[in-house]
Structure 1
Amino acid sequence: MQLLRLLRPGVLLVVVLLIAATGCHDESGVHVLGLEIEGQRVLSTEEIRAVMTTTTGGVLPWSSRPPFNRETFQEDLVRIARLYEARGYPDARVSVVAADLNEKGDGIRLRIGIDEGEPIRIESIRLEGVDDLPVDLQARLRANVPDAGGPRDRERLLEVVRVVRETLLDHGYAHAQVELNESPGAAPRTVALTVTATPGPVAVFGDITVVGNARIGEDVIRRQLTFRPDDVYRQRDIIRSERRLSSIQALQFANIDAPPPEGGTATRIPVTVTVAEDLLRRLELRAGYGTEDRVRAGIEWAHLNFGGGLRQFTAAARWSAIDRGASVGLVQPYLGRTGWSLETSASSWWRSEAIYTSETTGGRVGLSRRFGERAMRFGARAPSDVLRVSYVIERLRYMVRPEVLEDVTNVDTLIALGLDPIDGRGRGTKGALAVEYERTATDNLANPSRGYSVSALWEEARPTLGGTFDYRKLTMEARGYVPLGGTVVAGRLRTGTIVAESDGDAPFSERFFLGGSTSLRGWGRFQVSPLRDGIPVGGRTMLDGSLELRVPVRGPLGAVAFVDAGNVWSGSLDATVSGLRTSAGAGIRYATPIGVVRTDIGVQLTPIDGLLIDGEPESRRWRLHLSIGQAF
């Protein structure tokens, strides 16, 4: 009855206006062209639109336009009133509603006016039932209680109740219960609130039972748990342990159940870990096409419990126009109880770039560790942190293409780059220590729309480590994704540098190049770098950035507008903002079960004077890029 009162005379006005506006038109043929909201001060337009079913669709001319439904629109008005009541404004009214048909009679523009009214305010709020707890825990609990004077926002108050209870659960109070009680305040339009906590006794984890495992040892499952019997009960340990179990590829499902027994007095809480095993042997075949690598194919076989203990063995091969080769790898996930995993791999790869070809054969052995795991809170995905430390030993052979060699007339250039001046060949052995750090906090790894990721790689190659090269390489990258309604703003920044006494102290195949489908679109692959006789020869410092606006169009179809900027410089730590090359363009995205199919057209805004392609001056200022997966 209260909601009907709040909506009068708004709902009556809605009925009159919509009947008059739509007349005898078939409602299924009328689409929503516009929706405006006026008069809101406390809540944003986005918050109000979030509770409405009536929408206007996309902003592009070809975007779908949702049909108008009179009953749904009236229900939206009720939902708006409920939203305001929940936020402490029970007298808010939908005071003005306008509905205008276009000339064709197939589109309607809606306008909602809101009179928010005065709020019910919190006169006082107390936290009771925690006086016997440790002082530091009391302080933490009281810090979550808001100050008096604000509106009675039920959503925020329920969040206070939740956080207080979770805090108690994370400090051993497995039986904790929290209630919110409300009574009229002394002043008009005020309430007095009491948050009452019943902590119960401090509890510990009891016996742990593992069920559902058949081929994976129970010790492997227990090793993923961050708690042991008789440890203080903490809900965050249960959540962290579930996350660790869920990260195991050999498991389809993992759940940890530790409900306190009824009665509220038990101090030892039994735990049941339930898992469902997945296929332990997997064979994957891959195929695709891109404008750079042309037809590509790959195969990978993996054993996820090789010899037991969740030891992982993989064998893979890949073939395309720009790279082909094979690799094998073995991961020992546990080294005692240190939390580190042992990773070993061996590979042989051949690469074919526009300027050179290279062969790399060797392997690496190293340690990796995942850390910084946190429980999910407020709907955000917890960051995943990985640290890897590796020793790398590789034999490299590379050769400048004969057709490119013919265009390089300066013999000193080849010698400086560590290449034979006669045949353009180079070779050597890389012995290096590598340290890599990654943090990923996105909502989707393949097609993110929210969150961020950062990574850094430091590589130290020295003759004392078994190689012939002598250099230091550092690369860093950051990505960010911000949702704006259905649209996503995505950005990336990369930089890298090679520190060496001379160009010949680092492999030619390690030098930086830009251009292609994932950097400086508008140029071909590896076309952006310092030039020698018009030929890109790579450099020792790189800076690259991209900004994209990803807009949904209809269903799986989306559109993108982008700007790229970057360049490569000859020396170490030699980047300058004034020397950046830029490009801009647009593209189409189509989401499929195997990934996002991507088509981009990039246009050079700052062409490179003197660039030679196939021995001729570069005249084309645009490129079409086709690939699978987002650019970043």
Structure 2
Amino acid sequence: MALALALLSSPALAQESASSSTATQQAATPPASPAEDAIRAGTIPVPAPPPGAALPQVDPIIPDTEFNSAIPALDAGGDPVLDQPLESIESFERRLATQQSNAKPTEGQAPPAKDPALADGDAVEEVGDAPVADAELTAPLPPLNQFEVAPVQFAEDEEAANRDLRVTYAVRLNGLDAADGETAVSLKSQFKSLSALEKGDGKADNVAMASARLTEDSELIKTILASEGWYDPQVRTHLDRTDGPSGLPLNAVIDVQPGKRFTFSEIKVDADPTVPPTLISDNLALKIGEPIVAERVQGAEAQVALALPENGYPFAAVGDRDILLDQNTGSGAYTLPVTVGPRGRFGGFRTEGDLAFDVDHVQTLARFKRGELYDSRKVDDLRKALVATGLFSTVSAEPQRTNEQVGDGTEYVTMLVKQDAGPPRTIAGSAGYAAGQGFTIEGTWTHRNMFPPEGALIVHGIAGTQEQGAGVTFRRANAGQRDRTFEAVAEGLRSDYDAYNAITGRLAARVSYDSTQIWQKRLTYAYGVELLGTAERAYDFNAGERRRRTYYVASLNGQVGLDTSDDLLNPTKGFRVTALVQPEGSLGNGFNPYIRARIDGSAYVPFGDFVLAGRVRFGTIQGAARDDIAPSRRLYSGGGGSVRGFGYQKLGPLDPNGDPIGGRSLNEGAIEGRYRFGNYGVVAFLDAGQSYESTTPKFSDMRYGVGIGGRFYTNFGPLRVDVATPLGRRRGESRLNIYVSIGQAF
């Protein structure tokens, strides 16, 4: 087209060009295109040169006849070369090889191969056809197990490379000083305890890790601020490099603008009326104008959830709070929905499941009667008492509606106890050592519910260096009353102490009402009967040697205790007093009646984490001479539960061999200073005591022991280790005595 436009732009050549084009079309050219036809027809205007313009002379282009004559014809009968079939690859390679073999090499060029690849006459080229110089290609591959791969060697190992990327950083938290002093300290403390940056201890594998921790901590500080009432803080973070080496160290900076601290503008409880009317509001410890602190809100709601079931509403439920915040005023309107439910009183009991005992015994364990106002604390106590029996795999106590009206706006609630009885048998063992008592190993086999309900059979045995024996005990726990125990024992025992050697048979029965870890009682008691037959070897002053005598003892005993302390195993305040009276009769050289009596008292005074504790004990035997009393029934002092620093039963009258013979009275005292820090504690103590041949204590020749101890406090009581030494140590007395047990010394 460009060619056509150039030609048509010259009027002098228009006629000649037209003639030439016509001739060419007739000879061999295809028909004109639509665009060319349009130009010829005048449909598309062709610009003309301005009048008088001097146009350059244009030489003629190759004529069409000359161009067409240079193109070979494609029809049959033309060039014979084009008509013949293509040469095969085999013929082409053979001809090429022949040409190479006949060629003469130039100077410095190797002669051509005399045996070309296809000279073997095989039309298919094989690997073996390669020249000898390529023999390596034809060699077989080695077996995989012999194939050797040289490891890649790096200039530095991976650990060194990672070490180069590691960074250290310091944490900078700015802006919290806008809060008041105490709150600012609390915010910083919370952040430090939860911060990912702080947990990283100022080290990160690379900058990206430090940046990720910084991002995480920015969200953390927002959460902490919101929990304290700042709901619209501005938090910005960045990493600053200091002037140290590249990447070391960094400052992880958190800039905080707390903004407004939101306060309560309205407190509303959506609930039905209660009895008393202020039951919910009195326990919802939130006030208008105070900051909206999450911990206080949750604590106040939890208190409501506890107070309602404790005051007669077993089916009460606290709903989800709603706090509407006003960004302009920085205040919040608080609404708490509460479903109160019916007010209830304890009704009857019902039990289901794999029963360990029946519903009557469940009622024995309960510390409430029918008609009492429902109190969830008493239900919790019942649940704990059920667990303490040790007879269940799982057990629960739940209130159930009855719709039975009492008539005063309340309705009866049935307690449903779901039981799943567990294995009732137990095998237990223990081992220990005590100064003066030697090593002991004890084992028991117990069936806790052989005689339901809670009738246990216990077989026990003891093997020690100074004591051996076995026995059988029947024990019924919660016998007709919660925490009242009946126990009957039959046992035989051999004892070999410095004071006496005895072989004893014993029958005893006892009823006791004692404190437990679940329910520590203010008043406790015990009473029982005991029969002994004992053959004992002790020093006979008349004969001047140890002789064996047989005693038959019948005893009644009664005990009463008053306890105002705050804890059974770890008291810190209050006092305890216990009195024991045992009228006895001994058949040895005739019938000898007498009375054994003892009184114990202790008190505890706290001073913060320090507790000052004191103990006294007095004992007497009235009505019989010492030699008419079996040695095992006399009074002794010394040992871990008596006067620390001395061996077991080592204080008091001695025989000519220096062995204790016991007395008819004693007095003891102790004072302890106990300091606790966390789960640990230290104790310093001074013990004093003595036993006497007379029936009343003389308070003379008192012996003293001093020592220190350690305590490890657990959820069931403190573990005690005491080390003591006697003051004014005498010949034969140990320099140190160690005592280990559970619970405080007193």
Q: TM-score w.r.t. structure 2 length?
A: 0.54
Secondary structure (helix, strand or coil) at the match of 2:182 reads coil
Separation (CA, whole Å) in 1 of partners of 2:615 and 2:543 = 32
Write the distance in 2 (CA, Å) between the matches of 1:476 and 1:585. Answer: 22
For 2:400 and 2:495, locate their aligned partners in 1 and report how far apart those are by CA, in whole Å.
Answer: 56
Task: Determine if the alignment matches structure 1 residue 496 to structure 2 residue 617.
Answer: yes
Q: Is 1:368 matched up with 2:512?
A: yes
For residue 460 of structure 1, report the CA deviation from its aligned partner: 0.9
Give the CA deviation at 1:566: 0.9
**1:392 Cα shift?**
3.7
Cα-to-partner distance string for 1:389-425 (whole Å, 9 max, x where unaligned) = 21243548697866xx9xxxxx7xxxxxxx9976488
1:564 aligns to 2:685 (yes or no): yes
Counterpart residue number, 2:469: 325
Q: Give the conservation status (yes or no) of the 8 Å contact 2:581–2:598.
A: yes
Counterparts in 2 of 1:225-304, with a 5 A limit?
225=366, 233-258=374-399, 272-287=416-431, 293-304=437-448
CA gap of 1:150–1:273, structure 2 versus 1, over 3 A, is: same
Secondary structure (helix, strand or coil) at the match of 2:486 reads strand
Matched, 1:345 2:486: no
SS at match of 1:462: strand
| Letter aligned with residue 460 of structure 1 | V
Q: Distance in 1 between matches of 2:537 and 2:351?
A: 59
1:468 and 2:593 are equivalent in the alignment: yes
Preserved contact between residue 511 and residue 528 of structure 2 (Cα < 8 Å): no
Which of the numbers 159, 163, 185 marks the counterpart of 2:303? 163
Write out per-residue CA displacement over residues 73-114 of structure 1, whole angstroms, 9 at most, x where no aligned residue.
86688667645643446669999999xxxxxxxxxxx99999
- Show CA shifts across 1:324-343 (max 9, x none): 33333223345556874433
Structure-2 change in CA distance of 1:477 and 1:261 (3 Å): same
Call closer, same or farther: CA 1:203–1:96 in 2, change over 3 Å.
Answer: farther
Q: Pick one of 638, 657, 660 that aligns with 1:514.
A: 638
**Distance in 2, Cα, partners of 1:357 & 1:272:** 56
Write the letter of the residue equivalent to 2:597: R
Answer yes or no: is 1:201 the counterpart of 2:342. Answer: yes
Secondary structure of 2:354's aligned partner: coil
**1:390 pairs with 527, 530, 548, which one?**
527
Aligned: 1:611 with 2:737: no
Alignment match of 1:541 (pick from 650, 653, 667): 667
Report if the CA contact (8 A) 2:283-2:304 is conserved.
Answer: no
Deviations 1:99-151 (A, max 9, x none): xxxxxxxxxxx999999998544456565646x4334x636862553555544
Q: CA deviation at 1:585?
A: 6.3
Structure 2 CA distance for aligned equivalents of residues 139 and 590 of structure 1:
38
> In structure 1, how many angstroms separate the alpha carbons of the residues matched to 2:188 and 2:256?
14
1:313 to partner: Cα distance: 2.3
User: Deviation string for 1:325-376 (max 9, x for gaps)?
Assistant: 33332233455568744333344444444444456654443333468x9xxx
Pair 1:431-2:431 in alignment = no
Instruction: Supply the distance in 2 between the matched residues of 1:66 and 1:481 (Cα, whole angstroms).
Output: 40
Equivalent of residue 621 in structure 1, options 720, 735, 742: 735
The 1-side partners of 2:699 and 2:235 are apart by 59
> Cα distance 1:424–1:500, how it changes in 2: closer, same or farther (>3 A)?
same
Q: Which residue of 2 aligns with 1:582?
A: 706
Residue aligned with 2:446, SS: strand
SS of 1:318 mapped into structure 2: strand
Equivalent-residue separation in structure 1 for 2:713 and 2:582 (angstroms): 42
Q: Residue 586 of structure 1 contacts residue 601 of structure 1 at CA under 8 Å; is this kept in 2? A: yes
Distance in 2, matches of 1:85 and 1:527, equals 67
Structure 1 residue 541, shift from structure 2 partner: 1.9
Contact map agreement 1:520 1:564 (CA 8 A) in 2: no
Corresponding letter in the other structure for 2:595: D
- Offset of 1:569 from its aligned partner? 3.9
Distance 2:201 2:535 in 1: 58
What is the percent sequence identity of the aligned residues?
A: 14
The answer to whether the 8 Å contact 1:280/1:305 transfers is yes
How has the CA–CA distance of structure 1 residues 442 and 212 changed in structure 2, closer, same or farther, with 3 Å as cutoff?
farther
Displacement of 1:531 in angstroms is 8.1
Residue of 453, 459, 466 corresponding to 2:580 = 459
The DSSP-based 3-state class of the residue aligned with 1:239 is helix
Q: Deviations over 1:228-250 (max 9, x none)?
A: 88875543343232122112122
C-alpha displacement of 1:459: 0.7
Deviation at 1:227, TM superposition (A): 6.3
Deviations 1:51-75 (A, max 9, x none): 5489999xxxxxxx99988889866
Deviation at 1:472, TM superposition (A): 2.0
User: In 2, Cα distance between the equivalents of 1:225 and 1:288?
Assistant: 38
Task: Look up the SS of the partner of 2:688 in the other structure.
Answer: strand
What is the rounded CA distance, in whole Å, between the counterparts of 1:225 and 1:559 in structure 2?
36
Cα distance change, pair 67–326 in 1 and its aligned pair in 2 (3 A): farther
3-state SS of paired residue (1:212): strand
Counterparts of 1:191 and 1:213 in 2: how far apart (Å)?
Answer: 52
Aligned length: 531
Larger radius of gyration: 2
How many Å separate the matches in 2 of 1:469 and 1:81? 78
Whether 2:723 is the aligned partner of 1:602: answer: yes
Is the helix fraction higher in 1 or 2? Answer: 2
CA deviations 1:594-613 (Å, max 9, x no partner) are x9999x68363xx4326231
CA offsets 1:276-334 (integer angstroms, 9 cap, x no match): 21223334344456666444222323222233322222222212123333333223345
Structure 2 unaligned blocks of 5 or more: 1-161, 171-175, 241-251, 404-408
SS at the partner of 1:470? strand
The one-letter code sitting in structure 2 at the alignment partner of 1:432 is: N
SS in structure 1 opposite 2:303? Answer: helix
CA deviation after TM superposition for structure 1 residue 213, in Å: 1.9
* 1:568 Cα offset (Å): 0.8
Q: 1:483 and 1:474 mapped to 2: Cα distance?
A: 30
